[in-house]
Amino acid sequence: MTTKTIRYQELTPLPPGQSDFILRSADGTKQIRLDVTNPHGLSPHVNVETFVPRNAFPGDPRMIRTDNLHVFPKGGQ
């Protein structure tokens, strides 16, 4: 994943699910997830993810994850 700036204004909080906190870009191509209380078997971490449209058919809203960078705080994994 190349280093890019994701401006906070471009991100919208989503209701918590399996992650503690999720921010997603309006176009759905960028997402930041905090996995602190339920880190899925790992140390607490942040996921920085990128997506591209699946485009299986016109208007297909599904996305394919192209990158998932796990960021661990100091002392983590």
Quick one: which H or E segment has residue 68?
strand 63-71
Domain boundaries, the chain: 10-71
pLDDT single digits (tens) 32-66: 999 988 888 889 999 999 999 999 999 898 999 99
Tokens of 11: 């991100």
Provide the whole-model pTM.
0.74
pLDDT single digits (tens) 12-37: 888 878 889 999 998 899 999 999 88
Query: Strands (DSSP E) along 1-62, which ranges?
Result: 11-14, 21-25, 30-35, 45-53
The DSSP code for 76 is -
pLDDT class of 1 with cuts at 50, 70, 90: very low
How far apart, in whole angstroms, are the C-alpha atoms of residue 74 and residue 7? 24
Half-sphere exposure of 1 (CA within 13 A, CB side): 18
